[in-house]
Amino acid sequence: METTKQCSKCKAHKPREEFYVDLSRRTGLTASCKVCNDAARNERRHRVALARAVAKAQNRAANPVAREVAGLAGALREALAARGVQ
């Protein structure tokens, strides 16, 4: 058995311990390394949080009393974009 495995994301050859166990896969390990897996998970979490914040802000923006919240959503989007979150 090979002692290293190539990550499908960053293409680095890493020791098998650097991959999470995934018994649904032929190799028994995830295709991407732990670092790439964690990064993808964090990104998904940020996307979901951002989508929720924007939807909430848009709902409030529909109410003229709280229209400034739409501006906050834009600021939030910019702040996340500045941190590299789309």
What residues line the site for Zn ion (CB under 5 A)?
A: 7, 9-10, 33, 36
Least Å distance, CB 25 to Zn ion, is 15
Nearest to Zn ion of 9, 60 (CB atom): 9
Indicate the residue among 31 and 61 with the shorter CB distance to Zn ion.
31
* Closest approach of Zn ion to the CB of residue 48, in Å: 22
The closest of 68, 70, 65 to 54, measured between CA atoms, is: 70
Task: Give the CB-side neighbour count of residue 10, counting CA atoms within 13 A.
Answer: 15
